[in-house]
Amino acid sequence: MKRIITYGTFDTFHWGHMELLRRAREMGDWLAVGLSTDEFNTIKGKRAYLPYKRRLEILQAIKYVDLVFAENDWGQKRDDIIKYNIDTLVMGDDWQGHFDTLADVCSVVYLTRTKDISSTLIKHTLEKQ
């Protein structure tokens, strides 16, 4: 069984998120998602539109996702990869090169983002209303 992992905030869930999860799941038999907690987002200088609990519920309802767990800090990825016996880490290509240091414990793949949609775009649109 090939095991895949990805991480993110998954705020204002949209088609691009669904595509990333679908494409990641197609790369293997099992997909885990590390979901950034509200506290971790604060450390990253981000503020999620939806609280962690709501984002967790959305991800748990997605048919491509087998496990969702809290991402609390930058350094936990290596431990998670080992803990869950991961074969491939999948991230959006805006993170290109950032996680190459994990290539000693799994494959690292950066997927192209879905064009013309992002949480930032949605947030800016909502702020204008």
Handedness of CA 75, 78, 79, 83 (dihedral sign): positive
Going by C-alpha positions, the residue among 47, 14, 9 that lies closest to residue 116 is: 14
Annotated catalytic residue within 44, 53, 77, 83? 44
Sole residue written with tokens 């494959």: 107
Would residue 46 show up in a list of annotated catalytic residues for this protein? yes
How far is Cα 99 from Cα 63, in angstroms, rounded to an integer? 26
How far is CA 25 from its chain centroid?
12
Annotated catalytic residue within 46, 53, 83, 115? 46
Would residue 44 show up in a list of annotated catalytic residues for this protein? yes
Known catalytic residues are: 44, 46
